[in-house]
Structures are given as structure tokens and as C-alpha cells.
């Protein structure tokens, strides 16, 4: 694919159609502030999957699902024995999420597949667009459930009994979502894959600031997650003397402050977030007896990740103020590097299309993290406005979004003919 | 009532019956840990009211309700023009509350009324047992809604549109609870009252520690409540540099620490509690964009209450760390003193019954606070185990509970014949 001709897939990527489909998908779970709330395996997630199925039917692409609800849209290859090339991302969102995080990789992956189809090219390998189940981990923790199970890193059994805030299990939610498409053929998660590319908005400010359209992603920083539980003693706010209290909330606030000191980093490389923070019983005139909060801690360097991660528990204990503290690590993702072979293709195709590009590391975790175990893997980033993501204000231009999918379509075609 | 004879009401207070009724009431909204969750105007609250109606019917006491759902059980007096003497408390509980906070004053008040009835005494004034609506303020804020409206301090209009966590308004919840007893006669809240005594567990450790059965309550400390809202900016936990974040949770933790310093008190008289603390959007990998928390601050001294209360907003603002902070005061209850005339009767009746007693100030707020505006008011405290309250482990002995009601029955009879 040295020159751009009529049968070059990128030539068939339709900026308006891609934009329309992304905006159509964003209607499902749309929030009043222009964002999206589409929780994993919810009714909104089901509606998003049905939309994918509608689109696939127009092109004659087959659609299947597996035991964790991953959705696969497949265009056949000429070699019936060849392992597929995959692209995709996720359709679930943060509770106050944006239109592009995840949806871009799935809807854009579908646009790439449509463009390849319309170019008339028959690839040797099949190409699949996958919507991974529960990447965000906001309804059911941990996230990346679909890709983790597909990769073999997680077992389905360890996810099925996880409950959401209302006590609904993954098992029950899966049953409900399967019921919305009872005739969909089933396949098992996993198997041989020959390559994976995920398109995503950067979720950071670098590409926009440097006026680069394409980020050739070099890898993903290490990501860990912990749940801290602090148990004190409920008491009456009007009567219990402060010196006798075991106040789980005040203890938790002190602990968060101590963790901030632990994580202090003049280079501003550490990413330390307390995102979920539940206080029980949550009554204004009762001293809180229990607090549970999450720690999301990431760093590109494995040693720093270990050193600071190990210090979390003693730091919590040293600041417990008479309460009982327990710390449980629920995610431990090492930093990964993407395959040179895939990065080379993405870089070359960007250059061919005259798209300004640069190598860039991913601060966020992605389903691609799990795919590195299975096959040569890469990611394509496009700029997002102000680097804002996990936010209803998430924004990206139709032109940048289409440019990323042009690179994706050509790169997938090259991989599928290897 | 100088001697204890067969027609002395205290002689008819039945320890076992009172205990049975308290345990029966505690079944309604019972929690797995032995506590009670009976939210104001909930289905459990409705069931508790129906139980009161059943009991009242046996004695021929009339039952009425008013526009805020206060429930009145009335025994007539001989003078049709005489203003009533009232006793009572509340049937709603904390989310993880105990069996006695509130329920003791209502069920015990009913036991006192039954004992007076069984003594054969016809009082001049009617005596009413009232269950005030929404004292706790945990489902709908602020609390003491029933007594505040009865006293004329609050207007019903200011309560009807208050919403619970699910968006249900007081108006809707009232409609639902009225529908469970559609034939109950209606009366207007308020009117002339000649005296009010509320029986309650102490909710503090003093009586138990000093082996006193009866606390003659001298008044209630001043109580204020504030809502603090901190608005930052949602961002992706993996990508957003810490220096660029406006993290509402970290700001809130710093603010709580600064408020702890502000409220520091070597005499341990200040009561400062952050009981409700909501973090939004509450996803582990999103930097929180908004935190809302409550401050419950009490002190017996009016000047200290004003001085520290006024310092809350500047303290919050000085520790906002780039977020926007707003502080709203939603409760401002000055300290009150109870009527000497009522305290004298309670003290004398305790002595007559040879019950060890002492004067004691109330750390907790009660519906009695509002009644001081209308009539001579007092309270009777009985010990609770370890001073524990607003807690599922709340406990009191049947003997102490009955002793309090003996004093109550005799005191009400004296007031009703004045």
C-alpha cells in the first residue's frame, strides 16, 4: 500500500458517516450535560450492542458473543485457517463519561471494517471488531473484564459473582443482556489472534498541544488499584465526646492526606487518585463507622510502582487514629511495551497519509494491555480537546477522529495480509 | 400524689408489656445486626404507625394525624376546654439505628397513657402521646420536621419539596403514608399545649457510669448544621497530571483536617461531626469533580457556637486547593433550658419512687427543643449501655426503661390536673 488509490481502504473512510455513528451511539445513555452514562451490561449497553448488530447486518458481517459478553463483528478472510486480526475497544462508559472514550475504538473500528469492505479488498485473514465487556470497571470492579478473560489472565468464574451497587451480579447482568439478543451465535472467549490495534482518544493534552493528529502508542504505564476499608465505631454526633470516638471519616481524611505526602513527586509522573469514597451510614448526625475508598496508582516505572505500592498499607495503618484499616490490592498491571512491528506499520501509514504523528506512551489503561500477551499489539491515539476525558465535556474533532480510522483501516489491511 | 397507692399510675406501668411492645416495634425495620432502619415516612414508618393505632384501639384512645404526618393518640380529660398535656418522641430511626432512640418516648409514652387509664384516674386535661414525623433528618433534611412545624418555627411549605436520595419528595412520601390509613381523622398541627415531657435514652455515658436511673434533663445544647459543597474538575486518573487537577476529594479531606484543627477543644465540649460525605462521580478511575458533606457542630455555649460556626466558611475557603467551595447553614438551634416547674415535678416523682436521679444536660437534639416555645417542657432520660446510640448496638435494661415511664406517668398526671 505504497500509494493511495481507489482501492486503498483509507479512501473509503467517511468522516461524516463516522461522526454520525459516534453521535448516534452517544445518544444511548446520553446525560443532560452532553456526556454519556452507559454502564457495563446495563440496558444502555444492550442498546449499544443492538446498534452494532444493525450496522453489521447491512454489510453482511457476522456477529457473535462469548461467555463474558464480548461482542465480535467479523469480516471473513480468504484463508479459512488464518487467525484473525482484531481491532476494537469498549462501549461502556464512566458514570459521567464522554462520547469518545471506548466508543471511538468500537465505532471507529467498525468504520475501518466498512471502509475495507467498500474498497473491495479481500484480506487473507479475517478482521474482527470487538466491543470488550466492562472496560471501565465503574459498575463492576475490576474493569477490563472482557479482555482479561479473553487473554486468559482472568477466569470467568472470578467475575461472575461480582456485584454492582444494587447487589446485581455480573452473572445476572450477563443473563439480562444475552436475553436482549437471544439468537446471537456464541463463541468461546480467547483463541489465536494474529494482531490487535485499538484506536482511542489520547485522554491527555500532548497531541493537541503539539498539533499532532496521530499518536503512535509505545506502551501503557503500570496501573495498580487498591481498596482501603476503615472501620471505626458509629456514635451519636451530639453526645459522643470527640476523644472517645473512633471516627472512620476523620481517619480516612487523615489517611488520604498521608498518602498524598507518600505519593508527592516533583516530576509529576505519579498518578494517584482516590475516586470512589463511600461513608457509612452516611447520616449527618451519626459519627461514621465505616469508610471504603479506592486508590488508583500508576507509574511507567516498575520499581517505583512496587516501592510506593508497598508503602500504601503501612501509611494507612500509621494514620488510622484508632480505627481498624485493611488494604486490598485488586489490580496489579505491570507497564507494557507495544510491538515494534505494529508501531512501524502505524507510523508508516500515518506518514503515507501525511498525518503529523509522534510516539506517545499511554497514561490510561486499555484493553490492549491484555492483548499484548496474545499477539503483536498497538494503539492509535487521536487528540482530544484539552486532554479532558472521563468527563462529560470530552471532545474531539470529526477530522482527527476520521484520520485515526484512516490509519487504522490501512494498518489492519496490511496486518490481515501478512 | 404523695404516696404510692393502687390508683397511682406508676403502679400500673408494666415492665414486661413495655418491653414486649418495644421489641415488637423494633421488628419493624429490623436490621440483621439487631438494630433498626425505619426511615421517616417510609413503609416501615407506616407499619409502626399502624401498630400504634392497633394499641390505641384497645383502650379506646382516639388517633389523629396532621399535615406533616404527626400521629396523636389522645385520652380525653374531664374539662372539654382544657389544653392538652403532651408526651412523645419519634418513630423514625437512623439508617443503622437502635431500638430505643425515639421509639422509647413514643411506646413508653403510650405505656404511661395506658397506666394512667388503668389507674382509673380521670385527668382534667386530655393527655396526648405524639409520634413526631422525621426527627432524625436522615432521609429528609432537616430533621425535627414534625415538631418544628407544630411549634410554628417551620412552615409546612418549606418541607414539602425536600427530596430523599431517590428524589422522592416529602409531599409524595406523606401522600403514600396517608394512603395506608385513609380513614384517620385529620387535625391541624399546632395549637395550645399546657405541658410537654419527652422520655428518651440518654445517648451518653453519664447515668450508667454514676448508677443513676433517672436523668432530670435541664436543657439541650445548641446545635448547628452546615452543608459544604466542593466543586473541582473531573479528569482521567491515568492521564491527568496531579499539578493540573482540581480534585474535589483531596480538597475535601484537607478541609476536614483544617476544620478538626479549628474545632480542637482541650475540654472536649465541642461536638464536631462530618456524617454524610458524598463523592461524585464515584468511579475509581475518575478524579472526583464534586464532594458534598455535612457538618454537625454543637456546643452548650451560645458565644462559642457563633464564634466557631462563623469560622467554618473561611476555613473551608482557605483550604479549597483550587476548587470552588460553598457553605450553607441548614440548622441553627440555640441552646435551650427546660422549665423549672417541669424539672421540679420529674425530680420529686423520681424521689418518691426512690429512683436515683441527677440533673443532666442533653447533648443530642430532640423534638422537645421546639416545644419549649409553646409550653413548659421537660425530658426524662434513662441510661443506655455504654452511652452508645445512633448505632445498632443501642441497648437499655427493661427495668430502667420502665422506671422512666413510671416517673413519666405520674408526672403527666400531675401536669394534667394542674
Q: Which residue has the higher pLDDT, B228 or A283?
A: B228
Nearest CA-CA distance, residue B245 and chain A, Å: 10
Residues 6+ apart with CB under 8 A from A247: A232, A287, A288, A321, A323, B273
Q: Which residues contact A81 (CB under 8 A, 6 or more apart)?
A: none
Helix (H, G, I), strand (E, B), or coil: what is residue A109?
helix
Percent of chain A with pLDDT over 90: 91
- Number of A to B CB contacts under 8 A, please give it: 244
> In terms of DSSP bridges, do strands A290-299 and A271-273 run parallel, antiparallel, or are they unpaired?
antiparallel
Asked if the model's pLDDT at residue A1 lies above 70, the reply is: no
Distance CA(B292)–CA(B58), nearest Å, equals: 48
- Answer yes or no: is pLDDT of B1 > 80: no
pLDDT at B390 over 90: no
Work out the widest C-alpha separation in chain B, in whole angstroms. Answer: 80
Determine the average pLDDT of the residues in B160-179. Answer: 96
Q: Could you read off the pLDDT of A146-159 as tens digits, one per residue?
A: 999 999 999 999 99
In sequence order, the 6+-apart residues with CB closer than 8 A to the CB of A159 are: A68, A140, A145, A149, A170
Are residues A280 and B243, on separate chains, in Cβ contact within 8 Å? no
Confidence (pLDDT) at B7: 83
Q: What is the pLDDT of residue B202?
A: 95
Contact between B223 and B298 (Cβ < 8 Å) = yes
pLDDT(A65) > 50: yes
Helix or strand (DSSP H, E) at B236: strand B235-236
Nearest to A222 by CA among A293, A256, A272: A272
Share of chain A above pLDDT 70, in %: 99
Q: Is the pLDDT reported for residue B207 higher than 90?
A: yes
Q: Chain A contact for B383, CB < 8 A?
A: no
User: pLDDT tens, A250-271?
Assistant: 999 999 999 999 999 999 999 9
All residues of chain B having their beta carbon less than 8 Å from the beta carbon of residue A279 are 275-278
Asked if A390 and B225 come within 8 Å (Cβ–Cβ), the reply is no
What letter does residue A99 receive in the DSSP assignment? S
Q: What is the pLDDT of residue B5?
A: 65
Q: Is A188 exposed, middle or buried (0-12, 13-18, 19+ CB in 10 A)?
A: exposed
Per DSSP, helices labelled H in A246-397 are 248-262, 302-318, 340-352, 368-371
CA-CA distance, B308 to B303, in Å (whole number)?
9
CA distance A189 to A178: 15
Is the pTM for the entire model greater than 0.80?
A: no
Residue B64, pLDDT > 70, answer yes
Which among B36, B259, B40, B261 is positioned nearest to B159, based on CA atoms? Answer: B40
Q: Quick one: cell of B114?
A: 395506658
Neighbours of A165 (CB within 10 A): 11
A381-396 pLDDT per residue, tens: 999 999 888 889 999 9
Cα–Cα nearest to A136, from B86, B207, B282: B282
Cβ–Cβ gap B240/A287 under 8 Å: no
Q: Helix, strand, or coil here: B332?
A: strand
- What is the nearest CA distance from A233 to chain B, expressed in angstroms? 8
DSSP-derived 3-state class of residue A17: helix
Question: What number of other Cβ atoms are within 10 A of residue A173's Cβ?
Answer: 25
Is the bond preceding B41 in cis, omega lying within 30 degrees of 0?
Answer: no
pLDDT at A2: 44
The DSSP code sequence of B172-233 is HHHHHHHHTSTTPPB--S----SEEEEEEE--SSHHHHTT-SEEEEEEE-EEEEEEEEEE-B
Cβ-contact A69, A132 below 8 angstroms: no
Query: Does residue B7 belong to the interface with chain A, where contact is any CB pair within 8 Å?
Result: no
* Percent above pLDDT 70 for chain B: 99
Q: Is A206 touching B (CB cutoff 8 A)?
A: no
Span B50-61, pLDDT tens digits: 999 999 999 999
Q: Which residue has the cell 413526631?
A: B132
Helix (H, G, I), strand (E, B) or coil at B277: strand
Establish if A98 touches chain B: CB-CB under 8 angstroms: no
- Interface residue A138 vs chain B (CB under 8 A): yes
> What per-residue confidence (pLDDT) applies to A3?
47
What's residue B100's pLDDT?
A: 98
Rg over CA atoms, chain A: 23
In A, minimum Cα distance to B233 occurs at A391
Asked if A242 and B270 come within 8 Å (Cβ–Cβ), the reply is yes
Q: Chain B contact for A258, CB < 8 A? A: no
Task: Give the pLDDT of residue B205.
Answer: 87
Mean pLDDT of the A39-68 span: 98
Cβ within 8 Å, pair B276-A283? yes
- Out of B254, B283, B390, the one facing A236 most closely (by C-beta) is B390
pLDDT, mean of residues B73-95: 97
* A236 with B364: Cβ contact below 8 A: yes
Q: What's the pLDDT score for residue A23?
A: 97
* Cβ contact B284–A272 (<8 Å): no
Cis before A147 (ω within 30): no
Q: Which of A414, A417, A418, A409 is nearest to A115 (CA)?
A: A409
Mean pLDDT of A139-167: 95
Contact: A238, B283; criterion CB under 8 Å? no
Q: Is A50 at the interface with chain B, CB within 8 A?
A: no
Please count the CA atoms within 13 angstroms of the CA of A149 that sit on its side-chain side: 21
Q: What is the pLDDT of residue B368?
A: 97
* E runs forming strands in A176-249: 195-201, 214-220, 222-231, 235-236
Please tell me whether the interface predicted TM-score (ipTM) of this complex is above 0.85: no
Q: Quick check: helix, strand or coil at residue B411?
A: helix
Q: Cβ of B319 under 8 Å from any chain A Cβ?
A: no
Confidence class for position B174, pLDDT limits 50, 70, 90: very high
Instruction: Name A211's Cβ contacts closer than 8 Å, sequence gap at least 6.
Output: A356
pLDDT in tens, A101-125: 999 999 999 999 999 999 999 999 9
* Alpha carbon distance A369, A389 (integer Å): 19
- Per residue in B83-107, is it b (16+ CB within 10 Å) or e — as a string? bbbbbbbbbbbbbbbbbbbbbbbbb
pLDDT at B20 over 70: yes
Query: What tens digit of pLDDT does each residue of B262-297 get?
Result: 999 999 999 999 999 999 999 998 999 999 999 999
Cis ω before A44 (30° cut-off from 0): no
Strands B235-236 and B271-273 turn out to be unpaired
Closest-CA residue in chain B for A271?
B238
**Strand ranges (E), A91-175:** 127-132
* Residue B2: band (very low, low, confident or very high) from pLDDT cuts 50, 70, 90: very low
Residue of A nearest to B222 (CA): A238
pLDDT at A5: 65
Amino acid at each position: 500500500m505504497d500509494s493511495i488509490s481507489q482501492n486503498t481502504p483509507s479512501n473509503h473512510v467517511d468522516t461524516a458517516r463516522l461522526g454520525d455513528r459516534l453521535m448516534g451511539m452517544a445518544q444511548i445513555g446520553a446525560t443532560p450535560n452532553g456526556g454519556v452514562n452507559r454502564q457495563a451490561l446495563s440496558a444502555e449497553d444492550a442498546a449499544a450492542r443492538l446498534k452494532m448488530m444493525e450496522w453489521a447486518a447491512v454489510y453482511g458481517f457476522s456477529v457473535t458473543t462469548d461467555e463474558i459478553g464480548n461482542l465480535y463483528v467479523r469480516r471473513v478472510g480468504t484463508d479459512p485457517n488464518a487467525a484473525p486480526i482484531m481491532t476494537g475497544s469498549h462501549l461502556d462508559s464512566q458514570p459521567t463519561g464522554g462520547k469518545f472514550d471506548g466508543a471511538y475504538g468500537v465505532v471507529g473500528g467498525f468504520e475501518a471494517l466498512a471502509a475495507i469492505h467498500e474498497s473491495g479488498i479481500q484480506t487473507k485473514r479475517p478482521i474482527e471488531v470487538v466491543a470488550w465487556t466492562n472496560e471501565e470497571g465503574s459498575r463492576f470492579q475490576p474493569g477490563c473484564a472482557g479482555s482479561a478473560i479473553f487473554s486468559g489472565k482472568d477466569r470467568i468464574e472470578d467475575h461472575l459473582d461480582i456485584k454492582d451497587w444494587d447487589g446485581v451480579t455480573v452473572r445476572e447482568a450477563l443473563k439480562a443482556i444475552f436475553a436482549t439478543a437471544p439468537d446471537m451465535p456464541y463463541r468461546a472467549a480467547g483463541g489465536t489472534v494474529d494482531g490487535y490495534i485499538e484506536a482511542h482518544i489520547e485522554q491527555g493534552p500532548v497531541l493537541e498541544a503539539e498539533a499532532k493528529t496521530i499518536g503512535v502508542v509505545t506502551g501503557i504505564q503500570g496501573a495498580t488499584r487498591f481498596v482501603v476499608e476503615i472501620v471505626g465505631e458509629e456514635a451519636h454526633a451530639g453526645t459522643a465526646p470527640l476523644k472517645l470516638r473512633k471516627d472512620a471519616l476523620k481517619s480516612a481524611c487523615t489517611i488520604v492526606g498521608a498518602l498524598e505526602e507518600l505519593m508527592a513527586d516533583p516530576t509529576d509522573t505519579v498518578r494517584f487518585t482516590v475516586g470512589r469514597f463511600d461513608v457509612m451510614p452516611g447520616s449527618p448526625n451519626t459519627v461514621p463507622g465505616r469508610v471504603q475508598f479506592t486508590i488508583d496508582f500508576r507509574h511507567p516505572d516498575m520499581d517505583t510502582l512496587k516501592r510506593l505500592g508497598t508503602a500504601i498499607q503501612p501509611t494507612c495503618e500509621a494514620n488510622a487514629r484508632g480505627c481498624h484499616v485493611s488494604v486490598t490490592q485488586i489490580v496489579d498491571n505491570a507497564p507494557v511495551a507495544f510491538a515494534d512491528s505494529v508501531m512501524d506499520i502505524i507510523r508508516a501509514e500515518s506518514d503515507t497519509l501525511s498525518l503529523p504523528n509522534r510516539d506517545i506512551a499511554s497514561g490510561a489503561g486499555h484493553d490492549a494491555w491484555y492483548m499484548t500477551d496474545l499477539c503483536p499489539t498497538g494503539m492509535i491515539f487521536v487528540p482530544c480537546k484539552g486532554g479532558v476525558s472521563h468527563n462529560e465535556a470530552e471532545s474531539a474533532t470529526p477530522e482527527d477522529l476520521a484520520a485515526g480510522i484512516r490509519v487504522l483501516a490501512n494498518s489492519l489491511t496490511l496486518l490481515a495480509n501478512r
